[in-house]
Structure 1
């Protein structure tokens, strides 16, 4: 019989139980015991869902109270000495993830090209790896006690090292591979002692164009693991690993998982030489998107594999189902036709079950299920809702000059300085202010139609006026309206654009307790009317200082949505860019002089293989240019990027030609800014001096230290002062305390640099 399994499962719960339990614990309303009890209930429910779907082995180790990379760092003792001795307590997770009064949290970045953030382990040269697998082993016993056969999932030793950061300058992490492999071997021995038959070892870095020394390390590292049971399934995903087939096929493993959604052709590089005892796990159902699987097309791929491999063919999603919502069953208000086009995590397991039965018993055994899937796919393909001819015509009419500003930055900058008269080191924030319970209640009542339009608008305007007043009192130079009316930076705009649809409960974890509900791009995208102009005009009327118009950029709109798969992504990106462009021009016409087009996802959507970056970056730069390129020289365009590895794409970021870019730099002590300095980034830049993802309130001295670093790297005349990111998730008391310290730090630095105001703008000024 064909085995079906999953590489991982959503862990937040159908009602986001994990999110609320975490936040209650952090607020001190519940204790760690209550949080752990919530985790046990979620694991039990997830395993039961998998068993109900026909999985013979449930996945263990995919559940985490914050992040699996962090869990692995703790399991192998790879935690920074600056946090002291943390042990394996759950509160240690939160110290590392959220920081302490004396220590900033671990750095955070995106997991490959997804919107999931992982915490980056800091590994020091003199910190020995020490195995403490008590948490994982307890989960295995927990699953066994419930009658399940557990399949533990581990992040592979080389992927763990590659995705970590050396905390010791000049120390290469690859040198620690053999030592870490010994810990993994001990862990496998302990799992074998519990009767575990299979373990899944994820090595997603194999989808990258790996350096030769890292690729060469696979053979000796996996040789360390060969003597220890259980059987080892090497899991790869997100792209083809066929370039590394010679290395992979020589590894002492017992099975291989391939992503046949992102890279269906790669199976041909392995199938002729697949060792006789290996299983092949075919990732045939899309673990990254929400559209129903074309079961006929999937069977066409699987049947030849099944004829050759028989029971050695396993079926799985292409990757962990962490990246999709849990279940479609709760979406009772979703348009019926559109709902029939979708499959979330539960439905994807059901699709795998249908495919397995078709392979084992023939297509006739599942004729009814195949017919339903076929009808849904045909409905989506031929629906008149998905294509708008006027949108296609506007995209076809795009001219190259539309994607760039009329004048270069060197000509625009003096015009903007004359218009805004800002001081040295101008202060601003990224856009959002705390979403208080009152604001959330207001928005919820309006959404439930318990509140009229005028009453809702009045409540929003009260929040905007409050945000403007607080910023005036704090002494900010460029203000924001605070985004009280916005639930999410993508969903808010998607709700006002045609071609998007929305769910009620389709939450996906972004990091920790942070969940997002990505909209669905099912058809051509266009803007029927202005989206933010009235709000921006009102906010600007409350102050003589400039107030930024706040928009989400086309790349981020694309990357943070579930995107249609029946049209090239570049075509969808152009549609989004034209929609944002129309809004930018309307804001300018309304007198808004500074417009921020956020692109935090600019880097994360790149192909995994660097050789494919050029075309993708060109498309992203063009999209931003289309959105921003139509305004006058005096209009200042800002963009914001955060929590991603931007060092390698700086030429493309410079080509975006935003007048001001704000970036996340506080967790890394301005390390990212060094790259901007070495690159000699030509425009203005605001390196974040305040980590908003941690409850820790930085002092004026902390931020002054970061500003000193910034002034030593970037010409002072081109520096801005701002937090790392928006402040939506924080509370007002901590926000005002941190922002007041930030403004004081900026004023102190201005005073310190007063004698250098006349220094040439092309030269960094030492603090």
Structure 2
């Protein structure tokens, strides 16, 4: 029985790739040094997997930016604005970032300096329901598929040189499958239906597979995760066409699907003419028996029961039990692997020195998951490691009964959840007049989303406090000075509703997680999000509660510095959940409700302290949507309820705000309305207010702050630009329900950009007030 892996983290144990890429972008390292670091990481990854007993090791799971971008450059899908005679790695960086180190910062390349659009990066999207991102392939009128980037073949040759005589080690290139690649691509300036490109795309895939076979490759992993979606008939037909063509390849194909059940695509997947199928036995567990029974016995079936998306130890004995029936049927044609690529988990638990030892005993990162796969395979092959399996069994049992994990008071509170009224005392239509009478805000009230520039000085003070170099009193004084400065600036600018600027906050989830019981944080638990961007998700390991108030003192101090209204700022429960590694021993809904109850306490304490506008950000609400639309409503129901648990206890005159990042609202607008926030702020400037259409079509009843300038750009918007955007919004939303604000928080911007932009924003609101009041 073959032990294989679908992909391994590419960042290095200590984010070596991140630092080398960023140094290359800055011109501090050259391409030779970047490629050397990349080779070193790949070599270490291969050696780690060989040592762990992996027999079929993935190649081409390495990328400087992301694996979809790798496929685009391999297949010649390079937008015209970045095209040049011969491909080099800088083309990929231009596609991802809009520029490369050799550019002057204004144009993508000398060849296209005359093109005013040259330099805008490709769109970025989340890889299915993960927190990993990819650059969306662009199909243009001129797009022709051809092999332009040979890095795949170079890396395969590099890996094959590591084959060892007498050792059962081989290498398996990983490709995004042709149907998934087409599905994820977007047409730009062409109306040609994507599926009409399939035949010509398959020609290049055949060429790629032929070249791999000539290099000595016997197996190729072809990732088709869209098999977990609800596919229309033409996309199902595309699978038949694609794999009927690729069946002629000299390489054997292992088709990999993950993150979901196959659903109605199960029969399709079983009959495709491939040599094997990989299935995510965790996220697809409810269909696992059906697949085992239906899949042809003369083909390879790979089953992943080691979680590639989360950081908990596998219950090995349970996994072995689940696989025994498949082993009886498939014998050596049963392969074992993680559920998906290990890209989505941190690299190595061994380097974590500060985690509580009990908690550490419950965890497994990428390196440890390889060992788990080996233990499962050995047991199924009759070479059971009884000591290791007994140790695993003890750890699984200990976690279930752990005092660290279980908090009786929190569980009792969850049991009484139905005693909490989820609706505000009165509906928005009745609350709104009371709030207007209380706050006396002008037409088009101005505010910001919460954070202000986090300067090097602010970050240094936080580091000094964390390392013990300054006292708590010194830290508080430094943060209060920053809050005073932010309040003064807002008042001088003339903003109507102020915020304290959040200088004390490192990250919108981490800041709260560090103050909640049931959360833990790693030192080196980094995971790649895209390119050089790595995140270190918190770990929700147990029942969540709030030992003490988290933001009240800062908000009270900020309110004491102004006669104007000061908004309290919190991160919502759904976002706290979706941006963390979540415990796997209870439904996500229960964990989310525990966080919501902790935040409810914070909201009520803020209200008692005199903070009567409170913003609860739910940036990640849409991100949590299940892959199958049939499952959406259940998720949206409990996600909205969690928001209502947080907010429903306040008085009618306390105004609840929420903020949501770039989102398509059309298909979740009913859920957004059900949240019943008095004011929602959304990012709309990039779409020129087009994202408001969903709110108009639905007749959204509450107040809206459509972002009037893009904070991700250093450009300072003019008064005229913002007036135009607000005028567009006013044609869609009644003016008495419109707010004026930036698209998002200002944490990543500098004051030299932020202050003039806000001055212009306030002036735009003034001009509009005069215009509307005069008419």
- Aligned-residue offset at 1:372: 1.0
Looking at structure 1, the residues matched to 216 and 331 of structure 2 have their Cα atoms a distance apart, in angstroms, of: 26
The match for 1:417 is 436
Contact between 2:362 and 2:396, CA under 8 Å: does it hold in 1? Answer: yes
- 1:256 matched to 2:277: yes
The match for 2:114 is none
The match for 1:732 is 750
Distance 1:27 1:584, change over 3 A: farther
- Aligned-residue offset at 1:648: 1.5
The match for 1:140 is 156
The match for 2:657 is 638
The match for 1:18 is 17
Distance 1:85 1:423, change over 3 A: farther
Structural mapping, 1:548-563, within 5 Å: 548-563=567-582
Distance 1:312 1:750, change over 3 A: farther
- Aligned-residue offset at 1:757: 4.8
Looking at structure 1, the residues matched to 146 and 73 of structure 2 have their Cα atoms a distance apart, in angstroms, of: 9
Which stretches in structure 2 are left out of the alignment for 5+ residues?
100-105, 107-116, 164-168
The match for 1:763 is none
- Aligned-residue offset at 1:282: 0.7
The match for 1:662 is 681
The match for 1:765 is none
Tell which deviates more after alignment, 699-708 or 371-380. 699-708
Looking at structure 2, the residues matched to 207 and 731 of structure 1 have their Cα atoms a distance apart, in angstroms, of: 39
Looking at structure 2, the residues matched to 535 and 485 of structure 1 have their Cα atoms a distance apart, in angstroms, of: 9
The match for 1:65 is 64
- 1:686 matched to 2:702: no
Which stretches in structure 1 are left out of the alignment for 5+ residues?
760-767
User: Highest relative contact order (Cα 8 Å, sep 6+), 1 or 2?
Assistant: 1
Equivalent residues, number: 753
Distance 1:57 1:716, change over 3 A: farther
Match of 2:197 among 176, 189, 198: 176
- 1:465 matched to 2:484: yes
The match for 2:351 is 330
Looking at structure 2, the residues matched to 87 and 426 of structure 1 have their Cα atoms a distance apart, in angstroms, of: 53
Other structure's SS at 2:498 match: coil
Tell which deviates more after alignment, 368-377 or 745-754. 745-754
Distance 1:639 1:297, change over 3 A: same
Contact between 1:690 and 1:738, CA under 8 Å: does it hold in 2? Answer: no
Match of 2:414 among 364, 371, 395: 395
Match of 2:207 among 186, 190, 202: 186
Tell which deviates more after alignment, 601-610 or 641-650. 641-650
Match of 1:107 among 118, 123, 131: 123
Looking at structure 2, the residues matched to 494 and 222 of structure 1 have their Cα atoms a distance apart, in angstroms, of: 47
The match for 2:468 is 449
Contact between 1:105 and 1:667, CA under 8 Å: does it hold in 2? Answer: no
Distance 1:464 1:361, change over 3 A: same
Tell which deviates more after alignment, 232-241 or 637-646. 637-646
Looking at structure 2, the residues matched to 692 and 543 of structure 1 have their Cα atoms a distance apart, in angstroms, of: 26
- Aligned-residue offset at 1:376: 0.6
RMSD: 2.7
- Aligned-residue offset at 1:351: 0.5
Match of 1:360 among 378, 381, 390: 381
TM-score normalised per structure 2: 0.90
The match for 1:207 is 228
Looking at structure 2, the residues matched to 377 and 485 of structure 1 have their Cα atoms a distance apart, in angstroms, of: 37
Contact between 2:515 and 2:546, CA under 8 Å: does it hold in 1? Answer: yes
Distance 1:652 1:330, change over 3 A: same
Tell which deviates more after alignment, 485-494 or 92-101. 92-101
- Aligned-residue offset at 1:624: 0.3
Contact between 2:219 and 2:252, CA under 8 Å: does it hold in 1? Answer: yes
Contact between 1:425 and 1:746, CA under 8 Å: does it hold in 2? Answer: no
Structural mapping, 1:587-626, within 5 Å: 587-626=606-645
Q: Deviations over 1:563-599 (max 9, x none)?
A: 1111222111211111101101111121223211111
- Aligned-residue offset at 1:380: 0.7
Looking at structure 1, the residues matched to 653 and 677 of structure 2 have their Cα atoms a distance apart, in angstroms, of: 13
Q: Deviations over 1:663-690 (max 9, x none)?
A: 3344555443333333333222333454
Q: Deviations over 1:489-548 (max 9, x none)?
A: 112111111122222211122233332222222221111111000111122223333332
The match for 1:764 is none
Tell which deviates more after alignment, 714-723 or 548-557. 714-723
Distance 1:186 1:680, change over 3 A: farther
Tell which deviates more after alignment, 254-263 or 749-758. 749-758
Other structure's SS at 2:429 match: helix
Other structure's SS at 1:402 match: coil
Tell which deviates more after alignment, 109-118 or 377-386. 109-118
Tell which deviates more after alignment, 346-355 or 142-151. 142-151
Looking at structure 1, the residues matched to 470 and 516 of structure 2 have their Cα atoms a distance apart, in angstroms, of: 23
Looking at structure 2, the residues matched to 186 and 702 of structure 1 have their Cα atoms a distance apart, in angstroms, of: 50
Tell which deviates more after alignment, 650-659 or 126-135. 126-135
Q: Deviations over 1:210-266 (max 9, x none)?
A: 222222221112223222232111111111114212211221211101111112242
Q: Deviations over 1:408-434 (max 9, x none)?
A: 222333333344444444443332334
The match for 1:6 is 5
Tell which deviates more after alignment, 608-617 or 703-712. 703-712
- Aligned-residue offset at 1:717: 3.8
- Aligned-residue offset at 1:634: 2.5
Distance 1:398 1:230, change over 3 A: same
Other structure's SS at 1:446 match: helix
Other structure's SS at 2:641 match: helix
Other structure's SS at 1:9 match: coil
Q: Deviations over 1:735-767 (max 9, x none)?
A: x426633652563475367434588xxxxxxxx
- Aligned-residue offset at 1:9: 1.5
Tell which deviates more after alignment, 133-142 or 662-671. 662-671
Contact between 1:520 and 1:563, CA under 8 Å: does it hold in 2? Answer: yes
Match of 1:381 among 357, 382, 400: 400
Tell which deviates more after alignment, 706-715 or 389-398. 706-715
Other structure's SS at 2:540 match: strand
Other structure's SS at 2:667 match: helix
TM-score normalised per structure 1: 0.91
Tell which deviates more after alignment, 384-393 or 125-134. 125-134
Looking at structure 2, the residues matched to 11 and 701 of structure 1 have their Cα atoms a distance apart, in angstroms, of: 46
Other structure's SS at 2:346 match: coil
Q: Deviations over 1:67-108 (max 9, x none)?
A: 222333333333444556596443333433334655543333
- 1:301 matched to 2:317: no
- Aligned-residue offset at 1:458: 1.9
Looking at structure 1, the residues matched to 20 and 612 of structure 2 have their Cα atoms a distance apart, in angstroms, of: 43
Distance 1:469 1:79, change over 3 A: farther
Other structure's SS at 1:600 match: coil
Distance 1:649 1:61, change over 3 A: same
Contact between 1:112 and 1:604, CA under 8 Å: does it hold in 2? Answer: no
- Aligned-residue offset at 1:706: 5.1
Distance 1:749 1:311, change over 3 A: same
Looking at structure 2, the residues matched to 33 and 721 of structure 1 have their Cα atoms a distance apart, in angstroms, of: 49
Distance 1:596 1:32, change over 3 A: farther
Tell which deviates more after alignment, 556-565 or 144-153. 144-153
Distance 1:647 1:177, change over 3 A: farther
